[in-house]
Structure 1
C-alpha cells in the first residue's frame, strides 16, 4: 500500500511501537523511515495527539493498527491526515481482522469478556468499546511494573491458566528499530498487560478456573499510578 501511494525514500511514516515489528519493517522495505508514536492507554491503538506531536515536513503517512480486536481511531487520524495532507492506512492486529471471525464466535468472546469483567479482581479489566471483538482479553497487572506482571503470569500458569504477555518489548526498544524516544503509555502497557484466554470454545469450568486463579492473587497486588485510580472511579 505504501509503494502504491509512492511513499518511499525520504519519507517518514508514523507507526505504533506497541505491537509486532512487521509494520515498521514494511515501512523500511518501502524505503521510508518509521517514526514511532505513543498509544491510547485504553484502546492500545496509536494515539492521534501523539501522532500530531511527531509530524515533520517529511511525514507522508500514518499506519493505524487495530489492537486486540479493538478498532483504532481511524476517523480521528483521517481528520489529522486531511489537515496535514497525510495518507492514513489501517491494518488488523497480527493475523486477525476485525471482520474475519463469524458473528457467533465474536458473540461468544464478548460473553466471556462480560463474565470476566464482572468477576475479576486485582487486575484492571479492558474498557468496553463499540466494535470490540475481543481477539484477546487483555488485563493490566498494576503493581510496580513488569516484574509484578511476570510474577502474576507465572502464578496464574501454575494454576492451569494459559495466559501470555501480548507485547514483550516495544518496537522502538528492539535492536533493529531502536529510537531514543519517550513513549510512556507504550512502555507502561508493555510492562503491565497480560492476555487471558477468551476463545469462543471456553467452557464454564474453564472460565471459573481463570477467575479463581486470578482472584487468588488479587491481594498480592498494590494499586499504583493514575491508571488504576481512573479505572476504579
Structure 2
C-alpha cells in the first residue's frame, strides 16, 4: 500500500513501536523512514495527539494497527490525516467467526468480574478479545515476568504480548520518548480466553492470578 501510494525515499511514515517490527521494516523497504509515535494506554493503538506531535513536513503516511481485538480511534486519526494531508492506512487483525468472538467475550466478562491484583482491559466498543491483556502492577518488567513464570508453573498458558518495543531494537533504535509504549511493554500480559477453555480452566486462571495478586501493589 505504501508503494502504491507513491511513498518512498525522503518520506516519513508514522508507525507504532508497540508491536511487530514488520511495519518499520516495510517503511524502510520502500525507502521511507519509520517514525515512532506513542500509544493510547487503553487501546494500545496509536494515540492521535502523539501521532500529530511526531509529524514533520516529510510525513507522508500513518499506519494504524488495531491491537488485541480493540479498534483504534480511527475517527480522530482520519481527521488528523485530513487536516495535514497525510495518508492514513490501517492494518487489521484476522477476523474470527461471530460465535467464537461471542465465547471470547463471555470468558473475558468472567475474568473482568473475578480477577484481583491485575488491571483488566477496558472493553470498549467492538472489542473482540483476540487477546485478553491485563497489566501487572508493580515496579516494572521483573514484576510482570515473575508473575508470568508463577502462572505458567500453575498451568496457565500466558504470554508477554510485546517483549521489546521496536524503537528499542538495534536496527531501529531511536532517541524518542514513548512513555506509554515503554510502560505497556513492561506491564502487559496476555491471558487465555480461547473458545475451547472450560469453566474449570477459567476458574484455574482466576485462582492462580488472585493467589499472586496480594504480592503486588494495588492496580489503581
State the partner residue of 1:55.
55
Residues 222-233 of structure 1 mapped to structure 2, 5 A cutoff: 222-223=217-218, 228-229=219-220
What's the CA shift for 1:5? 0.4
The reply to whether residue 123 of structure 1 matches residue 143 of structure 2 is: no
State the partner residue of 2:43.
43
Residue number among 106, 111, 114 corresponding to 2:106 in the alignment: 111
Q: Separation in 2 of the partners of 1:154 and 1:19? A: 22
The ranges of structure 1 where at least 4 consecutive aligned residues each deviate by more than 4 angstroms after the TM superposition are none
SS at match of 1:31: coil
Residue number among 129, 134, 156 corresponding to 1:139 in the alignment: 134
State the partner residue of 1:10.
10
State the partner residue of 1:68.
68
Residue number among 168, 176, 189 corresponding to 1:194 in the alignment: 189
Q: Separation in 2 of the partners of 1:3 and 1:119? A: 47
State the partner residue of 1:216.
211
Structure 1 residue runs without a partner (length 5+): none
Q: Separation in 2 of the partners of 1:83 and 1:173? A: 31
What's the CA shift for 1:75? 1.6
RMSD: 0.7
Deviations 1:143-180, CA, capped at 9 Å, x for gaps: 00100000000011111101000000000000111101
TM-score (norm 1): 0.93
The size of the alignment, in residue pairs, is: 220
The reply to whether residue 172 of structure 1 matches residue 167 of structure 2 is: yes
State the partner residue of 1:155.
150
What's the CA shift for 1:128? 1.2
State the partner residue of 1:21.
21
